[in-house]
Amino acid sequence: VKALVLKEKIELVVVGPEEPLVNGIHDFFLNDVDLAGIPVIGPKKEGAILEGSKDFSKQFMARHGIPTPGSQSFTNDTLSEGLAYLENHSLPIVLKADGLAAGKGVLICQTVAEAKEELQLMLGGKFGNAGSLVVIEEYLTGIELSVFVLTDGDNYVILPEAKDYKKIGQGDSGLNTGGMGSVSPVPFADEKFLKEVEESIIIPTIEGLKKDKINYTGFIFFGLFKVGDKPMIIEYNCRMGDPETESVIPRIENDLVDLFLAVAGKKLGGYQLNISPKNAATVMVVAGGYPGDYEKGKAITGIDNIRKSTAFQDSQFEALQSATADAARIYFDGKYFREDIGFDLV
């Protein structure tokens, strides 16, 4: 990394994946005499633990009074207690590997028997070291969305919210994926609800980091559920999400480099973030068989780049129509995309 940064004369680094942040890429830059002057957007290792450990984040939420579903954590040493805990747990049951598991470490079990089997498999190495501790969490019934902030450690700005679609199948059915599409803004997240998010979740998180003496700079991704008319948080990420980013960034009217430099220079106090009222929609184009095994090496026609189609229009319906039509124009053998992304919201 160092050789590439110096060779290409990189002047600003924005970290996308979670693993380098959890492993301390920001610390690496700060501790290297040749890299220390290059701004890095993303928390240091001590802050990235918010995403790197589900157990840590749940304890953080509880410690600072941030609304989140109830949970308990178990290891191999407390497996018998974990199995007993499951006996009296309401259904469905959510099991989460504590560490990073490439997005596959969250399981929703429909029966106690299934939950017991999965708990033993997880603690037995199903997800490697990531599952050496497992969080058992209450299942929430509500609507999921994501809210994002950028913080310089003292102040913060709230970025546009987004809703992503994780399931592979039409109607949100089938296996979980890395994301099949997203929309922004989110119609059910009105001004009153987003104000509640700020007051009950964002502010306590920023203040909690300060109280815990964690100097956190960069993105915080709040994975939320709207339960009734109240927000609850189920996870933190220490970076932007994919495919949410593709629908969030077009709505930010500010120069992104100026925004990132304000974060790096601790100058977010009084920063005016301008958000477009227009609508963005993203549709992912994937290979047949995804998220399981799929054949690679197919020729692609109809577009220069493959992966996603993002549209930016005055109305959400227009954005959805445009993004879906763009996805349809891409052609390769086995191509697949969801044709219903976002249409449940209009």
What pLDDT is stored for residue 301 in this prediction? 60
The predicted model gives 174-182 an average pLDDT of 89
Burial bucket for residue 228 (CB in 10 Å: 0-12, 13-18, 19+) = exposed
Question: Which residues have CB under 8 Å from 180's CB, separation 6+?
Answer: 165, 166, 167, 168, 243, 283, 284, 286, 337, 338, 341
pLDDT at 102: 80
Give a yes or no: residue 220 inside a domain.
yes
Number of domains in the chain: 3
Full-model pTM: 0.94
Percent of the chain with pLDDT over 90: 87
Mean pLDDT for all residues in the chain:
95
35 C-beta neighbours (distance < 10 Å), count: 17
Tell me, yes or no, whether 282 lies in a domain. Answer: yes
What is d(CA 286, CA 305) in angstroms, rounded to the nearest whole number?
A: 12
Q: What is the pLDDT of residue 305?
A: 41
Co-location of 134 and 147 in the same domain: no
- Flag whether 49 is in a domain: no
What is the tally of helices (H) and strands (E) in the chain?
Answer: 12, 16
Residue 60 in 3-state DSSP?
Answer: helix
Same-domain check for residues 39 and 187: no
Q: Give yes or no: residues 299 and 170 share one domain.
A: yes
Torsional class of 238: left (φ above 0), alpha (ψ -120 to 50), beta (otherwise)? alpha
Residue 252 belongs to domain with CATH number = 3.30.470.20
Among 8-12, 121-125, 302-306, where is mean pLDDT lowest? 302-306
pLDDT tens sequence across 206-217: 999 999 999 999
Residue 12 lies in a domain: yes
Which residues, in sequence order, are bridge partners of residue 173?
169
Q: Please provide residue 193's backbone torsions phi and psi, each rounded to the nearest 5 degrees.
A: -65, -45
Containing domain of residue 30, as a range?
2-44
pLDDT at site 298: 72
**Domain contains 180:** yes
The confidence score (pLDDT) of residue 307 equals: 63
Q: What is the per-residue pLDDT across 78-105, written as a single tens digit (0 to 9) for each?
A: 999 999 999 999 999 999 999 999 878 9
Q: Are residues 118 and 238 in the same domain?
A: no
User: How high is the pLDDT of residue 289?
Assistant: 85
Mean predicted confidence (pLDDT) in 155-159: 98
Query: Are 75 and 111 within one domain?
Result: yes
Distance of CA 194 to the CA centre of its chain: 18
